[in-house]
Amino acid sequence: MTLALGIFDVFTYAIPGSLYLTLLVYVAARAGWLPLDAAGGFDTSVLLIGVALASYLLGHVTYRLGSLLNRLVPPRDHLRAGAAREFTDRVPGAKARRLASVDPQLLLAAVEARSKDVAVEISRLRAVGLMLQNAAPALLLGGLVAVVELAAGPRPPAAACCAALLFAGALAAVRRGRTLRRWSLMKTYELAFWVTGPDAADADLAGDAAADRTAAEQAAGQPAGQPPA
């Protein structure tokens, strides 16, 4: 049996989980619960596989912490609504408005059905955005551990620097993760717009422009299709 992890699994779960695992190992070692010297007796391959599995599982278990922290950190903008609004502002027309009203996951499935290679960029942006979101709580917890080290540790200046960097990193990870997930939504709408081909999209825009022009002429009291006097 072959076990393969995709880019989404590695970025979204394994990497944030490795941060939690590192933090747990550090706390256990500082408290004297985990003798690190004993790790030298394990086979390196077995140890690496165990670390990878533990990181992946911790990434799944702690996934909700990232979502919770994302909701707590302002500004709490609705990503989907903001991306749909930006997309329709950039691409006016009936087709863009129809796409903006469809669930992005359904649009992503449509893009993947047409071309998986094209959809890779959407998955990459979304995975990296979720990785940053899920890593933020681990960085925040690391900052709290550094605060404890500041009060009780042997090197307060180093602990103070670590605490400041970790707290700043947690805030930056949340906000940058939002930006990347917004980009992934924008890329979803854009690729779904062109997935039927540029000719069809151009025809749709031309039809929208003609319909808008006809409506404007009728509102002005001018017969449709007649040149202005």
Model pLDDT for residues 180-219, shown as the tens digit of each residue: 999 999 999 999 988 855 444 444 444 555 555 555 566 6
Q: Which pLDDT score, from 0 to 100, does residue 228 have?
A: 46
Residue 80 belongs to some domain of the structure: yes
Q: In this structure, is residue 203 part of a structural domain?
A: no
Instruction: Please indicate, yes or no, if residue 134 is contained in any of the structural domains.
Output: yes
Q: What is the pLDDT of residue 97?
A: 86
Task: Label residue 118 by pLDDT band (50, 70, 90).
Answer: confident
Residue 224's pLDDT is 47
For residue 208, tell me if it sits in a domain.
no
Residue 226 domain flag: no
Q: Band the pLDDT of 41: cuts 50, 70, 90.
A: low
**Closest-CA residue to 170 (of 103, 43, 70):** 70
The angle subtended at Cα 129 by Cα 18 and Cα 57, nearest 5°, is 30
160 located within any domain: yes
Q: Is residue 152 part of a domain?
A: yes
- Residue 110's pLDDT is 87
Encoding tokens for residue 8? 């989404």
**For residue 138, which of 53, 33, 64, 65 has the smallest C-alpha distance?**
65
Weakest-pLDDT range from 72-81, 123-132, 158-167, 194-203 = 194-203
* Residue 83 · residue 190 · CB < 8 Å: no
DSSP state for residue 225 in the 8-state scheme: T
Contacts of 182 (CB under 8 A, 6+ apart): 79, 82, 83
The pTM for the full model equals 0.76
Domain that holds residue 15: 7-35+43-195
Calculate the average pLDDT of the chain.
82
- The answer to whether 66 touches 133, Cβ cutoff 8 Å, is yes
Q: Give the chain's domain count.
A: 1
Q: What is the pLDDT of residue 198?
A: 45
Residue 224 belongs to a domain: no
